[in-house]
Amino acid sequence: MMKEKIQQIAKSIFNDVVANRRHLHSHPELSFSEVQTSAFVAKHLDGLGLTYERMADNGLVALLKGEKPSDQVIALRADMDALPITEANDVPYKSKNVGVMHACGHDVHTSSLLGVATILTELKSEFGGTIKLIFQPAEEKLPGGASLMIKEGVLENPKPSAVIGQHVMPLIDAGKVGFRAGKYMASTDELYVTVKGKGGHGAQPQQNIDPVIITAQMLTALQQIVSRFSDPKSPCVLSFGKVIANGATNVIPNEVYLEGTFRTMDEDWRKEAHIKMKKMAEGLVESMGGTVYFNIVKGYPYLINEPVLTNNVRGFAEDYLGKENVLDLDIWMAAEDFAYYSQVADSCFYRLGTRNESRGITSSVHTPTFDIEETALETSVGLMAYLAVKQLGN
Ligand SMILES: [Zn+2]
Ligand SMILES: [Zn+2]
């Protein structure tokens, strides 16, 4: 009954959801600057008669109450920010803000959550429980809008028993979704390292301290953090993507500058690894006569999908879409600030398929040609509304 009603409304509002998504897509705003996006969301919440509070500057949190008696509370989360990318798609809804693009699908997440709000407002006499609608800023930039909203109390008064979020995935066909119970995405830390030596003529190494050779040893040694110290049962990655030694054929430079990333799925090991990496780099570089500045900028924690909640929600998704349209996800070593919710509340982060190979819609997120098959929006709004109502015990 509930399922058919939701499916019907999802169909009837489909054109509006597409229009909202296209509006947001053509007016993208960077992390921490989502002013117009936030105003757009507020206007729609006003239109639905929902009350909301502002948090983390551009964030909004609204409450939608079912009219049947229930003290259950859950939260649904969408992110609103775009990326510093120039859109290469030739589409009517192409970005009007040159150099800024919704290349991670956050326009889809925001327009979908507005669609969910529309569906559940229409059906509010038919379910019990409260839904917190979280529209958060700045997923793409440290320290992450999620961490700020949690600090400002988004998960209090009332406290949700579960937080559910979705993210587009161009590897999965539109109409399908993916789940993974347990550890799903990695923590990320940024590494900024300078190895200092003493530069000079390349023909006189005995008079210099060569930071290039020291760096070569350090890079090789640091891989032991992953291969010898990390538990092989738990994923861990250390990559240095930038190494600058600005000497010449016959010039040994004064210093070498490096940037890298460290990712894992265990907060204790993450802390320990930070200490070990610094210690190993300092010991090694000093033993060779150089000095090292090893700066670690902490990023998001790892993301864990609480297994009981995730298996529940997955079951509801199978009811709604059919078993054949619900897939298993593999671990993914990228990061996502939804991880902050997952560290403090039972959470479930699932993937919305947006691929349509026959229309050439296959580009990855964070590329200038990323786009979605818009029929995915009907799946998205209907499914999320259904998951919410079912998870509230209706
Ligand atoms: Zn992204
Ligand atoms: Zn994203």
pLDDT of 370 higher than 90: yes
User: Is 288 in contact with 138 (CB distance < 8 Å)?
Assistant: no
- Alpha helices (runs of H) in the chain, residue ranges in sequence order: 2-12, 14-26, 35-47, 106-122, 145-151, 211-224, 267-287, 307-321, 339-344, 376-391
The active-site residue out of 34, 79, 81, 374 is 81
The span from the first CA to the last CA of the chain, in angstroms, equals 11
Tokens of 27: 């007016």
Q: What angle do CA 315, 317, 322 make, to 5 degrees?
A: 95
CA of 105 to the centre of ligand 2 (A): 6
Query: What's the pLDDT band for 1 if we cut at 50, 70, 90?
Result: confident
Average pLDDT, the chain: 98
User: Is 62 in contact with 52 (CB distance < 8 Å)?
Assistant: yes
d(CA 24, CA 36): 9
Q: Cα dist. 348→59, 61, 214, 394 in Å?
A: 20, 18, 45, 19
Ligand minimally distant from the alpha carbon of residue 365: 1
Does 107 qualify as catalytic in the annotation? no
CA of 140 to the centre of ligand 1 (A): 6
CA of 231 to the centre of ligand 2 (A): 29
Tell me which residue of 54, 237, 57, 32 sits closest to 142, measured CA to CA: 32
CA of 316 to the centre of ligand 1 (A): 27
Ligand minimally distant from the alpha carbon of residue 80: 2
pLDDT digits (tens, 9 = 90+) for 199-227: 999 999 999 999 999 999 999 999 999 99
Tell me which residue of 362, 371, 390, 388 sits closest to 63, measured CA to CA: 388
Does 90 qualify as catalytic in the annotation? no
Ligand minimally distant from the alpha carbon of residue 141: 1
Q: For the whole model, what pTM was predicted?
A: 0.94
User: Is 187 in contact with 339 (CB distance < 8 Å)?
Assistant: yes
Ligand minimally distant from the alpha carbon of residue 107: 2
Tell me which residue of 168, 121, 96 sits closest to 336, measured CA to CA: 168
Mean pLDDT computed over 222-240:
97
Query: What's the pLDDT band for 383 if we cut at 50, 70, 90?
Result: very high
CA of 145 to the centre of ligand 2 (A): 12
CA of 78 to the centre of ligand 2 (A): 10
Mean pLDDT computed over 123-135:
98
> Which of the 8 DSSP states describes residue 289?
T
pLDDT of 22 higher than 90: yes
User: Is 130 in contact with 120 (CB distance < 8 Å)?
Assistant: no
Tell me which residue of 26, 34, 66, 46 sits closest to 135, measured CA to CA: 34
With pLDDT > 90 as the criterion, what percentage of the chain qualifies? 100
pLDDT digits (tens, 9 = 90+) for 248-279: 999 999 999 999 999 999 999 999 999 999 99
CA of 306 to the centre of ligand 1 (A): 22
Please state whether beta strands 187-196 and 255-264 pair in parallel, antiparallel, or not at all (unpaired).
antiparallel
Tell me which residue of 64, 237, 238, 214 sits closest to 135, measured CA to CA: 64
The active-site residue out of 29, 79, 87, 139 is 139
CA of 334 to the centre of ligand 1 (A): 9
pLDDT value at residue 257:
98
CA of 167 to the centre of ligand 2 (A): 6
